[in-house]
Chains A and B, each alone.
Chain A
């Protein structure tokens, strides 16, 4: 086995490290600590954070990549790059069917000509295979497995609850009840799904027979990466240019304003489409740059983040410029100027700390927008690599299925539900963060 660190993995870990480090830094700075405490005291905030953490955990597992060693004496490795999540979900990944099957089904979705028996729905290779000929037990088996799974989920939750006791003791004023209630729901759902997944395709299979549950879980990493890495890429530029434009004024302000107004007036989709197509050409012309298909897909993912970042920094930059213009006229900034404090120092000591809340709010607000943007862009074919599993590619492949009669709804529904939960959690969290950080909010 050989570990593979894709660029996006590295950046994702870097991002997590930055998040942890700034968490530690924030706990030292009083006003930030107070604001985050307000987030922690909110029921909604804690519930949303728990959900988001669950998503991050899945994405994290999916970011530990490796290549398997092939049997034989020579040191050769498989071409497929797998992740820890793939390893965990080997069952789901390998139990592919021939084509569509409905959730929890035992038979295929489409009729086929079976040898000697005319046209009928063939039995699935894996879904419900353990039932053998006893098809009458299908429903009771499902109920049985579900109850078993719920029980396991409950046990898992109890264990977590006990493990969480020191946390609750350390910070008794936070809304732990909401966090653990959410965790309970998560554990129960995960337990039931895990138990059912042993014998069935819980969310059905897609056109080529892949398990939809597996696809959805794999999509989470893509969505999170797009939502976070894009922000990471655009943030330094947006903050620096915004503050500079607002504080320096004059021709510097003119240039920066000109830059973002121009960028803003080009339709975003057009810009992205052009950039993605160009990049695709570059990638295709240099196959030698990438050892595996995964690396190529990863490069495209990162490039998409970069392009989204370039087109989306303008909003934050404009906000920060406006706020800086306002702060620049404040008397404490003028007092600092009168004391002969240098411009850079004024920016870092007086302006930046007082716009941090805007940055914070922008990060969480942008996140859900970016996740949705990925889906839309992949849907129209200018998003991630078609081989990268993402909500967008799932929806893209599902669009033809909707036209079938009877309809194949589960791919789309699964992508929709997962994306909905992710975006809803992110939006709720963003609202709580905004309330906690906005100085104009009622105390």
Chain B
């Protein structure tokens, strides 16, 4: 018997159907993952189930049966009893889903009252304890701003649990969190689900999260489900051409000297009129019938159901072997050296704005960058990665430390030598300027046409405005703008983290091509280990303003010696070996304004001893390239 039965659910916004005929079942205690790229209609599906659609959208047809009740026929009053009661929901952004002026305890009590009629402090504390918040009695009296992102997400989960839901809808519950925190929250969700026998509808774009959590998977594309499959069959051999390409586009899937498989083009915009298969324009296996007839559902012996004209020959996914040995180091010319770089931001308080302390965003960082090489800087949010990039570039004056460019001391900007590519493809282009003017910004006499061609765009695009471009195209424009001044060093600050997997692959390929052709050196700032493995030659791992481990990709990713690196790598949800026993780091990263004495990592470190509380460990050199700052490198 299924708990939730969705049939032909269709949501309309104006004339467009962002969710079109979605059908699936969810059994009690089961996790069904909706997987898809941005804009494919995942979140709208969830909101439609809860009847929480935005004002412009409406349910056009279809039925949602929940434990025998037809939710589409419920009145708003009846729905209110269902929401937060029998169905709980948690959202992506924990910061904005909690009321900032109410204590967390009061908000949970409110949820309890709404569904159980009464709320006593004991239940509130018990719920907070159940979601693993340490010292729950004190935390209940705190306000959301006093909590970290992971803690807020736990509080959200506690609120969703207040109504003893039979079904939990989780919309990208960990996307805004760091990997180590993401691992904690995912574990918590799985544990709670096991204890309470809840069903879970998990919405995500991350294949790793799906592999870790889901029992069954529904892949969405342009408003439709295109594949519904049990997890093992799906990860063994995804059947729909789109699913297969999603896998192939993952950076984990390729070795460094290969190009990533990409899906050409991007997701069709809302309101596109389709004839035939919606994926036809981007599909490599497209048949002539695909363009005229909507594909039928096909069922395979493995339990996979696929909406495709093509009979798929079972293809197993091969996970890339990881980095091959980095190419032999011949003449390495050092372009850039940073020594003991520090950036401290004063914390100002009071009327006179006196500095009462410092945020040690960057606290003594050494880096070397060689021509034609990529150094990846990895670490969790707030550890100072971006600040390192800006300090090197000259956008942020360093508090201390020296920079050498081509062996000569240097400070300030060096526009012709170093450029930066930013994270947010929407914030990094001036919406009021044409693409041509944007690209020529640093050098008015730049050859815009050839620059655009170089990054895979066409010259005619120069006359258009940024809003006409997709995220991936905008990132290409930003790269062209940086290349216009002919730099040798490109600082890339999470250039792909705002992009879909398929588009990320295109940008990563572009970056490797450019490196080969122009001999660029990249300082690649990221938190995505898969990207590091694909792109980087060397890796530096940052924790709280300091580099704790550095080395070649192989040394760091496959022979990590620092406990933090090991924990970071273990926390990354991987699509292979989903069930592997992993070591979880507890707690949240401390604030850089007030780092723990001694080794910054000791409050979370499983290996910490009294010695670690005393002084920050010096660098331990393990090989010519590999070094680590830990008393007990394992």
Contacts and interface: CB of A to CB of B under 8 A. Distances in A.
Contacts of A339: 415, 419, 441-442, 481, 485
Contact of B429 (A332, A334, A337, A349): A332
Nearest to A29: B432
Interface stretch (B34-42, B354-362, B420-428, B532-540): B420-428
A163 interface: no
Interface in B473-488: 478, 481-482, 485
Contacts of A31: 431-432, 465
A341 interface: yes
A291 interface: no
A338 interface: yes
A330 B420 CA distance: 13
A37 interface: no
A339 B465 CA distance: 20
A115 interface: no
B419 A338 contact: yes
Interface string B423-456: 1100111111100001001100000000000000
Looking at chain A's contact residues, the main secondary structure is: helix
Contacts of A38: none
Interface in A12-40: 29-31
A350 interface: yes
B395 interface: yes
Contacts of B424: 331
Interface string B402-419: 000000000001010011
Nearest to A330: B427
A270 interface: no
A56 B422 CA distance: 49
**Residue with the greatest number of chain A CB neighbours at <10 A, chosen from B415, B441, B442:** B441
Interface string B560-576: 00000000000000000
A338 B429 contact: no
A341 B441 contact: yes
Given A338-B395, A338-B413, A331 B428 contact: yes
Nearest to A32: B432
Interface in A329-347: 330-332, 334-341
**Residue with the greatest number of chain B CB neighbours at <10 A, chosen from A31, A331, A337:** A331
A353 B431 CA distance: 9
Contacts of B481: 335, 339
B432 A335 contact: no
A336 B438 CA distance: 9
A339 B395 CA distance: 10
A336 B423 contact: no
Contacts of A350: 430
B253 interface: no
Contacts of A331: 422-424, 427-428
A354 interface: yes
A209 to B, nearest CB: 58
Interface in A283-340: 330-332, 334-340
Nearest to A254: B353
Interface in B459-497: 465, 478, 481-482, 485
A353 B430 CA distance: 9
Contacts of A29: 432
Contacts of A341: 441-442
A384 B394 CA distance: 55
Contact of A354 (B393, B418, B432, B442): B432
Nearest to A336: B441
**Residue with the greatest number of chain B CB neighbours at <10 A, chosen from A29, A338, A353:** A338
A439 B424 CA distance: 18
Given A349-B430, A353-B432, A338 B465 contact: no
A340 B442 contact: yes
A396 to B, nearest CB: 45
A340 B431 CA distance: 20
Contacts of B415: 338-340
B427 A338 contact: no
A30 B466 CA distance: 12
A334 B420 contact: yes
Contacts of A330: 427-428
Contact of B431 (A335, A337, A338, A354): A354
A341 B443 CA distance: 10
B588 to A, nearest CB: 25
A334 B427 CA distance: 10
Nearest to B437: A349
Given A30-B465, A31-B465, A338 B420 contact: yes
A114 B431 CA distance: 77
B482 to A, nearest CB: 8
Nearest to A442: B56
A200 B199 CA distance: 83
B428 A332 contact: yes
Interface in B574-626: none
A132 B422 CA distance: 86
Contacts of B420: 334-335, 338
Nearest to A335: B428
Nearest to B434: A30
A332 B478 CA distance: 9
Contacts of B394: 338
A31 B415 CA distance: 30
A340 B465 contact: no
A330 B423 CA distance: 11
Nearest to B481: A335
Nearest to B390: A334
Nearest to A345: B441
B413 A335 contact: no
A339 B432 CA distance: 18
Interface string A402-443: 000000000000000000000000000000000000000010
A406 B485 CA distance: 82
A31 B432 CA distance: 7
Nearest to A439: B431
Contacts of A353: 430, 432-433
A339 B393 CA distance: 10
A335 B415 CA distance: 10
A19 B375 CA distance: 54
Contacts of B429: 332
A45 to B, nearest CB: 22
Contacts of A336: 441
Contact of B395 (A30, A332, A334, A442): A334
**Residue with the greatest number of chain B CB neighbours at <10 A, chosen from A339, A340, A341, A350:** A339
**Residue with the greatest number of chain A CB neighbours at <10 A, chosen from B428, B430, B433, B482:** B430
A354 B395 contact: no
A350 B430 CA distance: 7
Contacts of B430: 332, 349-350, 353-354
Interface string B101-141: 00000000000000000000000000000000000000000
A334 B482 CA distance: 12
Nearest to B432: A353
Nearest to A351: B430
Interface in B507-542: none
A30 B413 CA distance: 33
Contact of A337 (B395, B433, B438, B485): B395
10 contacts: A30-B465, A332-B427, A332-B429, A334-B395, A337-B413, A338-B394, A338-B395, A339-B441, A339-B485, A341-B441
Given A331-B423, A335-B482, A336-B441, 7 more contacts: A29-B432, A334-B395, A337-B413, A339-B442, A339-B481, A341-B442, A354-B430
- List the 4 shortest-distance A-B pairs measured between CB atoms, nearest first: A339-B442, A340-B415, A331-B428, A331-B422
